Structure 1
Amino acid sequence: MIKGFKDFLKRGNVIDLAVAVVMGTAFTAIVTSVTKGVIEPLLAVLGGNREYGLGFQILSDKPATFVALGPIISAGVNFVCVAAVLYFVLILPMNTIKNRLSKPTEVKADPTELELLTEIRDLLAKQNADK
């Protein structure tokens, strides 16, 4: 039972998925509040209009035609911050631990030319002895 649990934990996909769902959800609230409190006011100042923020008006007499770029930029900043924290705080250390705990696979090197010739000689000698 414990061996099965250890095998379950060592599966990379299960750990990656659990980390992404749990930590992504928890950390998104923090990053969203930072972007709403810092990034969006800066974009509103750059846009010149405090109400709409950074963007452009398609029709000057209709406020409903304002294309807001501020929320798109904020969502991009949100995404990059969440992805960076998840990678550097959780995924990178987990991969390091997984590499340290995994057994190194023994890679057999290709035989050298001398070894191949020796093997051919031995096989020919065996065939000649059998005749």
Structure 2
Amino acid sequence: MVGVLNGFKDFLIRGNVVDLAVAVVIGAAFTDVVNAFASSFLTPLIGLIGGGGELGGTVRVDGQDFTWGAFLSTVITFVLTAGIIYFLVVLPVHRLFDRRARGEEPGPVGPTELELLVEIRDLLRAQQGLGPAGPGAGQPGPPAP
């Protein structure tokens, strides 16, 4: 039980929550497409395989109908949706993260520490009403000896 909880904690910490959120959004969009495919093609096909007619994909036992065809169609719909999400969203994102980790693709570039310090200095001078710090105020000067 402790291993399962640690695994869940690692799942949350590693950033897989983003994968999950993306999967939910994309899954919701693809669900309609996959459901239409299932109701238009899979369910009738399963009905034909199950004996055709109105009761195709249904077994009647003591007056109770077991709709195994509908269940099978739902399972196939789930597998198709999960496959689409995995191959079109999760796999490309993981490949991007792997390339960044290997240094093949640079991550987002932010300002350098020196650029941030110059910007902070200029903002403080502006707040005090002192104006720019002289020629090249927005540019760092030469290093002090």
Higher share of residues assigned helix: 1
1:40 Cα deviation after fit: 0.7
SS in 1 for 2:54: coil
For 1:14 and 1:69, the matched residues in 2 are separated by 34
Sequence identity of aligned pairs in percent? 36
1:113-128 equivalences in 2 (<5 Å): none
After TM superposition, what 4+ stretches of structure 1 lie above 4 angstroms from structure 2? none
Query: Which residue pairs with 2:82 in the alignment?
Result: 83
1:49 Cα deviation after fit: 4.5
Structure 1: gaps of 5 or more residues:
1-10, 105-131
| Residue-by-residue CA offset, 1:26-70 (whole Å, 9 max, x unaligned) | 1111111101100111111122242232131102xx3xx111101
Partner of residue 20 from structure 2, selected from 17, 38, 48: 17
1:21 Cα deviation after fit: 1.0
Q: CA RMSD in A?
A: 1.7
User: Is this contact kept in 2: 1:40–1:53, CA < 8 A?
Assistant: no
For 2:86 and 2:30, the matched residues in 1 are separated by 12
Aligned length: 90
1:67-78 equivalences in 2 (<5 Å): 67-78=66-77
1:103 Cα deviation after fit: 6.0
Of the two structures, which has the highest relative contact order with CA contacts closer than 8 Å and spacing of 6 or more?
1
Query: Which residue pairs with 2:39 in the alignment?
Result: 36
Structure 2: gaps of 5 or more residues:
1-13, 104-145
